[in-house]
Amino acid sequence: MDCYTANWNPLGDSAFYRKYELYSMDWDLKEELRDCLVAAAPYGGPIALLRNPWRKEKAASVRPMLEIYSASGVPLVSLLWKSGPVVSMGWSAEEELLCVQEDGAVLVYGLHGDFRRHFSMGNEVLQNRVLDARIFHTELGSGVAILTGAHRFTLSANVGDLKLRRMPEVPGLQSAPSCWTTLFQERVAHILLAVGPDLYLLDHATCSVVTPPGLPPGVTSFLQMAVSFTYRHLALFTDTGYIWMGTASFTDKLCEFNCNIRAPPKQMVWCTRPRSKERAVVVAWERRLMVVGNAPESIQFVLDEDSYLVPELDGVRIFSRNTHEFLHEVPVTSEEIFKIASMAPGALLLEAQKEYEVQQKDVSDEDVARAINQKLGDTPGVSYSDIAARAYGCGRTELAIKLLEYEPRSGEQVPLLLKMKRSKLALSKAIESGDTDLVFTVLLHLKNELNRGDFFMTLRNQPMALSLYRQFCKHQELETLKDLYNQDDNHQELGSFHLRASYAAEERIEGRVAALQIAADAFYKAKNEFAAKATEDQMRLLRLQRRLEDELGGQFLDLSLHDTVTTLIVGGHNKRAEQLSRDFRIPDKRLWWLKLTALADLEDWEELEKFSKSKKSPIGYLPFVEICMKQHNKYEAKKYASRVGPEQKVKALLLVGDVAQAADVAIEHRSEAELSLVLSHCTGASDGATADKIQRARTQAQKK
Amino acid sequence: MAFPHRPDAPELPDFSMLKRLARDQLIYLLEQLPGKKDLFIEPDLMSPLDRIANVSILKQHEVDKLYKVENKLVLSSNEQLCFLVRPRIKNMYYIANLVKADKLAGRTRKYKVIFSPQKFYACEMVLEEEGIYGDVSCDEWAFSLLPLDVDLLSMELPEFFRDYFLEGDQRWINTVTQALHLLSTLYGPFPNSYGIGRCAKMSYELWRKLEEEEESETKSRRPEIGHIFLLDRDMDFVTALCSQVVYEGLVDDTFRIKCGSVDFGPEVTSSEKSLKVLLNADDKVFSEIRNEHFSNVFGFLSQKARNLQSQYDRRRGMDIKQMKNFVSQELKGLKQEHRLLSLRRCQLGMRGEVTVPPADAAKGLYFPRRDPWLLVGGGLLWSQMGKSTSTFCLKIFFLWTIKRHPSRTSNVSSLFVILADIGACESIMKKKTKQDFQELIKTEHALLEGFNIRESTSYIEEHIDRQVSPIESLRLMCLLSITENGLIPKDYRSLKTQYLQSYGPEHLLTFSNLRRAGLLTEQAPGDTLTAMESKVSKLVTDKAAGKITDAFSSLAKRSNFRAISKKLNLIPRVDGEYDLKVPRDMAYVFSGAYVPLSCRIIEQVLERRSWQGLEEVVRLLNCSEYSFAGMWCGGCGWGCHLVLVCQCGAEATDPTDMTKEDRASSESLRLILVVFLGGCTFSEISALRFLGREKGYRFIFLTTAVTNSARLMEAMSEVKT
């Protein structure tokens, strides 16, 4: 434990700060840092250096070098700067290097010095030149703020969505402000600047004077200002060596400190972390580093070398020619120390670590991925897909894939896999995620990427994706659907496809019959004889219906076989009806039901009777009784009631209202069920005798 | 009637919050388009929308005119058009055509598409392909849960059934997941989860993932709903295929309850208007009879009717003035009750009593047609009351009484002579059934019990031959197939042939659909089956194998109904008559002949708190891989599954590791959410309500849509368009 507490420095009663080495720097700097423009990406990201010859006003023939290093000083790239003079550099949240030129042009480079794009900060900037520039980060993205030679500010809050805002003029401003910074409040970027003893706040429309609460009198100038990583706090360093710390909204003062050093500090940054107990700023001079907060004493460190401070979400990075250190507030209990690595704020450490790991080129992908996983585990907030994206950015595709395997949310893996052209893997992952939209996205990717055959083959092994694509084709690309079935030798579905086409897509009868023929062939291939035969029958029927329409007029097309025959009978074409039912082998029972219904509808009682006598009814005679009664023809009904077989006789007699005879039959049958049925129909006054008769029969039956 | 709940039964949560949420979100979306706008609504969304925000609310938010999204183009003059649609491709073309027509005419206006419940990438892609993506703005109205009743939440997604169970399209699962997430956010976590079915398992797992990722505040909330049970519709097709005989189910089968209300058309109301009646727990008479077997409802309504009659009888001896007074005062109060009551009896008469009463029995009782009804006793012409919507109900009610109980109508007929156009009423009855309802029920029972298969098959054949109803015939065929593990090849061919002859050849596609869904299949030859089956089930479960041909998948879906029925004792042994008035088990919803399989599974699992002892049933359901039960760690309140390592640090692998108090407290929660993926029927709801009353639970139902046999069959049917 000693090693942990040895470097703890108390600040006030509650908080400790410690500074420890992250890396010894691998870089071999030829120049001093102070001679360079320095830009260090937040979250432990890379460092860019640009030797700054313009400042020394040397001959323009000496072109500067732009160098990019990892956080540990491993050179990533070095290139000759061929563009114009650079005033300021900074990294965007996407780890792109933004170089602001004197003429207001901003050149954007990737991590490996690859030129991405450039944009201009506008005409006004071009005319008046850039005096100073800052790259800043907000929830909107990364922004650029420019101070021009005319002492005006221009800013863009998000370079990804470039909108230039020219800030209003500060009245009476004759010289450059002594210091300035960007603030971010209520989703709007502001500029805070100090001119002599005054502080001005600029927003899009107005310029207002602000006064920090509790600022002692006697300040004639502000030498430095620092806004915290989250934009919540502000620190001001005055020419009296006094440091004011408060909220960036100027509503509260947190604390103050008098360091009695009047020399302007080189840098001043906040050193806090989420949920920190203390709010402190770190002030750096040439050889001195000071941590001050709400305490009478400060912590002081000696700087051996020219150093550079990088504010982070959870502390401050300090790097120099030889070392890269981290200064931060120590969590209260040593228990929590061990948690540091797993806590979200510790992302810095993790990021730095993984950045380092990813760049170990001599170790196998498998090992690197495993090493990273062992260090990070399943820490919430750590996104393996992001790390993998980095690995891919470094050109290590295989490592990226290995890393992605540790990503628990399969949906998160998909975009990168697609980018890496691992579409098939992306498809499986998308399916795993259960997000059909994602699957669909991948499908369309695949469709463009692969040739048709390969695409179909891929689908073939993914039933879920296949059905999704089929659904899509049904609405969008019917022809593709057909090809899909063809490719699969899915003759059954092909048959169904053409069958549907025969009435949905085709209009002309020839086209319809042709479609049916293809369908029938497909069904044969699918060994579905039933469907094939049924389809052939339909072809015959269609042709026949057309002929009927030609010869008889009226509407026959698209009627079912049953309805076709019915229509013929109703139209009086009995011969044709008979022919048709023979040709299509309509079973007797169906034919009888059909004819019975048709003739009753026509109220052609004579024909019905003739029909009933043509042979023995295969459906019995009760249906005849029923249908006559339905047409309210009791007379006809009675004719058939007598022919109803014994089993249904009672029912038939009751239907025609002959309760008495029904009773007789029921008694004869000695059927209790029938007797009760008849009894329930004995309602009228005239049925009294019948009811008695049944009761007598019942008692008799019981006696026996 | 309407058994009270046990005193220890829990209160239901207040689901009206869901409506408010949906309404607020919709208003927010409408306000995104400030100023006047015309609203185009997908027809399917109209009823649900009506339950959330009525026209006046829409007007308040500057909706000017309302149009239906349908095939024909509408000429709207508004500068802003808003489309409220389901994420369907055909809707995209509709919108695209409209926008393109405007472009051609050189017209620019604002278009906003609101997808409900979510948008799909494919839809946006169509907009893009049609070149109008930049012209419209797209939004989502995440309205996925409509409280139809105090205990019934519907997603109103009838297409879920076909999309998932036929087409294998999983896109709605995400919607289900979101809905579950919303419920657990609003009503606290569900400590115990169970489920069966492929879709159930997938929804469950995705939902868990979502909960874990979001680390929502539910963790700290006290659970209200103790158990959640997810069930796929294809676990139990049989129940959904049976004719419903519980009152609410019967009304649904006959008149189609749509979004919690039923529309009685002119043929029922015998006036030009149609009448919309909301059916839910707010309606006192309805809530007393909704879960009853319809045979009891007759008795109940008769009693009610008699009470009403005696109140009418008090009018005897009044003079005309008094009579008028009575009519205006007293009747007013009775009207509402009377109206609904009579409507209901009217509905029953139509379905329950299938043989049309002899027309002449009633004929003697009324005068010339098309006159308003009048009171003979007092000589008061009732037409003075006007022919309001309520009087037609009274009219039909008495008409019905007369028809049903000619013997008992003497006092009624002495009071009233009903001069009504009963033509409409008769026409419904005529249309309703050409075959006897009793016969139909008898056949269904025979199929469920597995006897007289030949007879039932002939019955179905006759049904088809007579063209009784394409949907009904199909339903019976499916019922036969599932209960018999597929049709024997001869019947399979002949029934299909007959069906095609009756209803048209396009139904070849219907049969192909039914086969794929496992609803109508052919029995495989006996011996080879088992070998084949094991091979196939391997194929099906082996993810890598991937491709399964249709034939295999339908084979794999062998229903095993008979064996399951035996195992779970679905056909109660009955000694003597089953007393439908005092039901003893859930079988009462099918006249005592059959306990709904879905409900039995739920009952058994809840009793055991697991699938233990039900392994054989699960296997027979082909769901060995798709049944699950999980309990949530009590340590951190919520958030981690016990088979996983708990995020709070507690490591538990077995529910028994839970402290006794934790178990007891989570199990004592007697509110149970049952999720039906693919739809549930009113019969199932009634059965579970009954179970709840018996055991002191309260069930809450979440369904993708309320369904019944006809809806299932229609979803599978191919129709010419």
Residue-wise pLDDT tens digits, B563-603? 999 999 999 887 777 888 888 899 999 989 999 999 999 99
The pLDDT score that the predictor gives to residue A476 is 80
Distance between CA atoms of residues A543 and A540, nearest Å: 5
In chain B, residues under CATH classification 1.25.40.850 are 433-524
Q: Which of the four CATH numbers 2.40.50.100, 3.40.50.300, 1.10.760.10, 1.25.40.850 does domain B433-524 have?
A: 1.25.40.850
Tokens of B452: 């007289």
pLDDT at A472 over 80: yes
Of B169, B202, B407, the CB nearest to A683: B407
Sign of CA pseudo-dihedral A6, A11, A13, A14:
negative
pLDDT one-digit tens code per residue, B192-220: 899 999 999 999 988 988 887 776 555 56
Q: Do A468 and B359 touch (CB under 8 A)?
A: no
Q: Which residue of B has its CA nearest to A562?
A: B502
In chain B, which residues have their Cβ closer than 8 Å to the Cβ of A593? 462, 465-466
CATH number for the domain running over B255-344+412-432? 3.90.830
Are the Cβ atoms of A593 and B466 closer than 8 angstroms?
A: yes
Chain B CB contacts of A467 below 8 Å: 167-170
The pLDDT confidence band at residue B538, using thresholds 50, 70 and 90, is: very low
A409, A560, A683: residue with CB nearest B503: A560
Q: What is the pLDDT of residues A411-443, one digit of tens each?
A: 778 888 888 888 888 888 888 888 888 888 888
Q: Label residue B691 by pLDDT band (50, 70, 90).
A: very high
Nearest CB to B206; choose among A434, A468, A590: A434
Is A503 in contact with B506 (Cβ distance < 8 A)?
yes
**Residues 6+ positions from B585 with CB-CB distance below 8 Å:** B572, B595
CATH class held by domain B144-236+570-643+659-720: alpha beta
Establish whether this prediction's ipTM goes over 0.85: no
Range B319-322 contact pairs with CB under 8 angstroms and sequence separation of 24 or more = B320/B378, B320/B379, B320/B380
Q: Residues of A with CB below 8 A from B90's CB?
A: 475
Chain A residues touching B168 at Cβ < 8 A? 463-464, 467
The DSSP element (H or E) to which A681 belongs, if any, is helix A672-681
Q: Which tokens in the block code for residue B369?
A: 């047609």
**What's the whole-number average pLDDT of chain B?**
75
Taking an 8 Å cut-off on Cβ atoms, the answer to whether A503 and B720 are in contact is yes
> Nearest 5°: phi and psi at B95?
-65, -45
DSSP-assigned states of every residue in B538-601: HHHH-GGG----HHHHHHHT---HHHHHHHHT-S---SS---SSS--SGGGGGTTS---HHHHH
How many Å lie between the alpha carbon of B554 and the closest alpha carbon of chain A? 14
pLDDT tens digits, one per residue of B114-132 = 999 998 888 988 899 888 9
**Does residue B633 carry a pLDDT above 60?**
no
Per CB-CB distance under 8 Å, the chain B contacts of A597 are: 466
Q: What is the pLDDT of residue B429?
A: 36
Query: In a 3-state reduction of DSSP, which class is residue B657?
Result: helix
The long-range contacts involving A200-203, CB below 8 angstroms and separated by at least 24 positions, are: A200/A170, A202/A153, A202/A167, A202/A168, A202/A170, A203/A167
DSSP alpha helix (H) spans, A52-163: 123-128
Q: What pLDDT is recorded for position B567?
A: 92
CB contact under 8 A, A531 and B512: yes
Q: Which residue of A has its CA nearest to B545?
A: A461
At B672, the pLDDT band (50, 70, 90 cuts) reads: very high
Q: Is the pLDDT of residue B524 over 80?
A: no
Query: Do A11 and A298 meet the contact criterion of CB atoms below 8 Å apart?
Result: yes
Q: What is the pLDDT of residues B38-76, one digit of tens each?
A: 999 999 999 999 999 988 999 999 999 888 888 777 777
Which position has the higher pLDDT, B556 or B651?
A: B556
- Mutate which of A497, A544, A561 to disrupt the B interface (most B C-beta within 10 Å)? A561
Query: Which of A436, A594, A659 to mutate against chain B (most B CBs within 10 Å)?
Result: A436
Straight-line distance from the first to the last Cα atom of chain A, in angstroms, rounded to the nearest whole number: 108
List the beta bridge partners of residue A271.
Answer: A280
Contact A437 B121 (CB under 8 A): yes
| Measured distance CA(B512)–CA(A519) in Å, rounded | 13
Q: Where does chain B hold its CATH 3.40.50.1910 domain(s)?
A: 144-236+570-643+659-720
Q: Chain A: nearest CA to B240, how far in angstroms?
A: 26
Structure tokens at B356: 């049309």
Question: Could you write out the DSSP letters of every residue in A386-398?
Answer: HHHHHHHHTT-HH
Give residue-wise pLDDT tens across range B445-463: 999 999 889 999 999 999 9
pLDDT average, residue stretch B523-549: 47
For residues B231 and B607, is the Cβ–Cβ distance under 8 A? no
A392-415 pLDDT, tens digit each: 888 788 888 888 888 877 777 888
Structural tokens at position B689: 């309500």
> Which tokens hold the place of B246?
């519980």
Q: Which of A440-449, B397-406, B408-417, B493-502 has the lowest mean pLDDT?
A: B408-417
Which residues on chain B are in Cβ contact (under 8 Å) with A589?
461-462, 465
Contact between A504 and B721 using a beta-carbon 8 Å cutoff: yes
The separation between CA A491 and the C-alpha centre of its own chain, rounded to angstroms, equals 37
More confident residue, B296 or B597: B597
DSSP tag of A357: H
Residues of A in contact with B498 (CB under 8 A): 587, 590
**pLDDT tens digits, A559-615:** 999 999 999 998 889 889 999 999 999 998 899 999 998 998 888 888 888 888 888
CB contact under 8 A, A460 and B466: no
Structure tokens of A692? 């008695």
Residue B640 · residue B653 · CB < 8 Å: no
Mind telling me how many Å the CA of B388 is from chain A's nearest CA?
33
A495-531 confidence digits (pLDDT tens): 999 999 888 877 888 899 999 999 999 999 999 999 9
The sign of the CA dihedral A184, A189, A192, A193 is positive
The pLDDT value recorded for residue A654 is 84
| Contact across the interface for B550 and A492, Cβ inside 8 Å | yes
Question: Three-state SS for A511?
Answer: helix
Determine the residue of chain A that is closest to B504 in CA distance: A560
Residues A327-378 pLDDT 10s: 988 766 543 444 344 444 444 555 556 666 666 666 677 777 787 777 777 6
Which one of B171, B496, B504 has the shortest CB-CB distance to A560?
B504
Q: Cα separation of A163 and A147, whole Å?
A: 16
Give start-end residues of each CATH 3.90.830 domain in chain B.
Answer: 255-344+412-432
Nearest CA among B488, B552, B553, B478 for reference residue B520: B478
- Which pLDDT belongs to residue A637? 87
Higher local confidence (pLDDT), B652 or A119: A119
Domain with CATH 3.40.50.2060 in chain B: 15-142
pLDDT at B700 over 90: yes
Q: Residues B460-479: what's their mean pLDDT?
A: 92
Strand extents, DSSP E, A331-433: none
Cα torsion for A650, A652, A657, A663, to the nearest 10°? Answer: -10
Interface test with A, best of B465, B549, B716 (most A CBs within 10 A): B465
Using the predicted structure, report yes or no on whether residue B543 has a pLDDT greater than 50: no
CA distance B465 to chain A (A): 5
d(CA B533, CA B552): 9
Contact B173 A460 (CB under 8 A): no
Find chain B residues with C-beta within 8 A of A630's C-beta: 430
Is residue A177 scored above 70 in pLDDT?
yes
Other residues' Cβ atoms within 10 Å of the Cβ of residue B676? 28
**Distance, in angstroms, between A468 CA and closest chain B CA?**
6
Between residues B653 and A663, the one the model is more confident about: A663
Which DSSP helix (H) or strand (E) runs through A222? strand A222-227
- Name the more confident of A25 and B362: A25
pLDDT one-digit tens code per residue, B245-276: 888 888 888 888 888 888 776 655 556 666 77
Contact B462 A683 (CB under 8 A): no
Give the mean pLDDT of A648-664.
84
Give ∠ CA B427-B458-A606 in degrees, rounded to 5.
55
CB contact under 8 A, B169 and A471: yes
Q: Which of A3-12, A315-324, B593-602, B653-662 has the highest mean pLDDT?
A: B593-602
CA-nearest residue of chain A to B721?
A: A504
CA distance A535 to chain B (A): 7
A436 to B167: CB separation less than 8 angstroms, yes or no: no
On the 0-12 / 13-18 / 19+ scale of CB atoms within 10 A, A274 is exposed
Domain spanning B15-142: which superfamily?
Answer: Sec1/Munc18 (SM) protein, domain 1 (3.40.50.2060)
Give the closest of A409, A541, A584 to B213, CB-based: A409
Structure tokens at B108: 């620019």
Higher pLDDT, B316 or B161: B161
Facing residue for B501 by CB, picked from A461, A562, A657: A562
DSSP, collapsed to helix, strand or coil, labels residue A132 as: strand
Nearest CA-CA partner of B607 in B588, B629, B626: B629
Average pLDDT over every residue of B169-183: 91
Question: What pLDDT sits at residue B557?
Answer: 61
The whole-angstrom separation of Cα B137 and Cα A350 is: 41
Element (H, E) at B261: strand B261-264
- Interface probe for B, chosen from A590, A595, A655, A677 (most Cβ of B below 10 Å), is A590
Asked whether the beta carbons of residue B720 and residue A535 sit closer than 8 angstroms, the reply is no
Higher pLDDT, B621 or B376: B621
Lowest model confidence (mean pLDDT) among B317-321, B436-440, B549-553:
B549-553
Quickly state the pLDDT bin for B324 (edges 50, 70, 90): low
Residue matched to tokens 């009955």: B574
Tell me what pLDDT residue A353 has: 64
Cβ atoms of B684 and B135 closer than 8 Å: no
- Pairing relationship of beta strands B275-278 and B261-264 according to DSSP bridges: antiparallel
Chain A residues whose CB is inside 8 A of the B89 CB are 475-476
- pLDDT score for B482: 93
DSSP state of A463: H
User: What integer pLDDT is reported at residue B664 of this predicted model?
Assistant: 55
3 state DSSP class of A225: strand
B554: closest CA among B592, B591, B521, B512? B521
Identify whether the C-beta of residue B665 lies closer than 8 Å to the C-beta of residue B220: no
Q: What mean pLDDT is reported for chain A?
A: 84
Six-digit token pair at B198?
């492929």
> Model-level pTM?
0.67
The whole-number pLDDT of residue B302 equals: 60
Counted across chains A and B, CB pairs separated by less than 8 A come out at 122
CA distance B164 to chain A (A): 10
The single residue listed with the structure tokens 């249904």 is A648
